[in-house]
C-alpha cells in the first residue's frame, strides 16, 4: 500500500509539471546571447591601474596626469599652502588612479 501511494504521488506530480522555468532563473544560452565576445588579445593588452603614488610615479603618463591635476587645483585656488599651527595635525591625502574610458570611443585618459 505504501509503495502504491508513493508511485501514485510521483505520477500525479509528473502530470502537474508544466515545464515552465522557475521564475528568476535564466538559461545559460540566453545569458551568452546577450554578451559580446571578447578577444583574448584584448584582455592581454588591458593595463592595470596603479594602486598608489609609488606605482603611478613609475609611468610617464601617470606623472603627466598628476601634474595636470595639480595645475588644475592651483588654477582654481582649491587650497592655500600655509603653516600648520602648533599641536595640530595635517589631514591625509590619497591619490586615486583610474583610467576613464570615453563612452562612444576607444579613447582613454588618465585622471
Q: What is the pTM of this model?
A: 0.47
pLDDT at 107 over 50: no
Spatial distance between the Cα atoms of 16 and 57, rounded to a whole number of angstroms: 67
Phi, psi of 40 (to 5 degrees): -60, -40
Residue range(s) defining the domain that contains residue 97: 2-80+89-110
* 33-77 residue pLDDT tens: 777 766 666 656 566 899 999 999 999 999 999 999 999 999 999
- Using CA atoms, how far apart are residues 82 and 93, in angstroms rounded to an integer? 16
Number of domains comprising the chain: 1
Residues found in the chain: 111
For residues 34 and 77, is the Cβ–Cβ distance under 8 A?
Answer: no
Long-range Cβ contacts of 60-63 (<8 Å, 24+ apart):
61/110, 62/97, 62/110
Amino acid at each position: 500500500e505504501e509503495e502504491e501511494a508513493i508511485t501514485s504521488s510521483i505520477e500525479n506530480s509528473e502530470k502537474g509539471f508544466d515545464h515552465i522555468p522557475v521564475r528568476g532563473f535564466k538559461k545559460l544560452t540566453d545569458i551568452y546571447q546577450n554578451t559580446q565576445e571578447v578577444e583574448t588579445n584584448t584582455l592581454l593588452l588591458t593595463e592595470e591601474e596603479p594602486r598608489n603614488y609609488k606605482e603611478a610615479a613609475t609611468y610617464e603618463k601617470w606623472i603627466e596626469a598628476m601634474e595636470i591635476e595639480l595645475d588644475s587645483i592651483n588654477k582654481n585656488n582649491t587650497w592655500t599652502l600655509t603653516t600648520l599651527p602648533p599641536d595640530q595635525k595635517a589631514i591625509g591625502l590619497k591619490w586615486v588612479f583610474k583610467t576613464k574610458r570615453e563612452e562612444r570611443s576607444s579613447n582613454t585618459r588618465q585622471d
